[in-house]
Amino acid sequence: MDILIPVTFIVAFLSSIVSGMSGGGGGFIMTPYYLLIGLSPQQIVAGASIASLGLGSGSLIAMRGRQLVSKKFLAPLAAITIIFTLLAMLVLPKIQSGVFETSIGMLLIVLAPTLFIKKTKLHPGERSQKSVLLGYMTYAIILFASSLGGGLATLLFLPLMFLMGLSAMESNALRRILMLIQAVIAFLILLPQGYIIWSYALTALAGCYLGGHIGTKIALKRGENFIKYSLAIVMIASGLILLTKW
């Protein structure tokens, strides 16, 4: 048996616990891992689309019954997600591997401090029409970038919380649904192109489902602060490995 299959399960499981606990960031672990084992950017996005189905469904099941999804923003954000995911899938085949690794490595290091933004100080509540409009625009840009890989979806809490006024848990619940939509679109487009490596993708799906469910349960009980430091270390270490590799 390929030793990378159980390793992939472990990495997916642990990264999804981190993502479930902190509201995101699992991609900061999975993307460097996939790059290090030799997958192309296109194969990574294809595999991530399947893994996201597991992570999102596991997290949402853990949240069931809590009425956390904002119906006010669901429809417009879903429309934006569909449009910009489709645009990203048009750009994806043109991405060159070397540039991808270098860019992701730099982003991991630069974005590590964003984990320590005081989310609790971004008080939820009503926002002005201008702020909400800016939130939609910012969401679209981040969503497009995240569709190309790299774990950038964790930054979606910025427009959802700061510009649109959602609470941390509301933002997380809504983002999970939107990421499921993104994953389904990416999967349907990339499936016939042969980018999916099924042995890794299905293994990651199982690991992400279990890890996302467990991580979300922990977050609902204990919060996320203690995980930030370890995630920041992983991000910086992964970024340095990718930069020195090339």
In order, the DSSP letters of 98-133 are HHHHHHHHHHHHHHGGGGGS-GGGS--S---HHHHH
Report how far residue 101's alpha carbon sits from residue 193's, in angstroms, rounded to the nearest whole number: 22
Average pLDDT score over residue span 218-240: 65
| 234: pLDDT strictly greater than 70 | no
Average pLDDT score over residue span 4-30: 80
| 76: pLDDT strictly greater than 90 | yes
Least confident segment among 4-18, 98-112, 141-155, 185-199 = 98-112
CB atoms within 10 A of CB 20: 32
Name which residue leads in pLDDT, 152 or 240.
240
Element housing 170 (H / E): helix 168-190
Q: Report the candidate in 157, 150, 143, 56 with the shortest Cα–Cα distance to residue 115.
A: 157
Q: What is the DSSP letter of 65?
A: T
Element housing 230 (H / E): helix 225-245
Report how far residue 177's alpha carbon sits from residue 25's, in angstroms, rounded to the nearest whole number: 16
Asked if 144 and 84 count as a contact pair (C-beta separation under 8 A), the reply is yes
Q: What is the DSSP letter of 235?
A: H
Specify the amino acid at residue 127. R
| 171: pLDDT strictly greater than 90 | no
* Residue-wise pLDDT tens digits, 84-132: 999 988 888 776 656 666 776 677 677 667 666 665 555 677 889 999 9
Q: Report the candidate in 48, 98, 108, 80 with the shortest Cα–Cα distance to residue 236.
A: 108
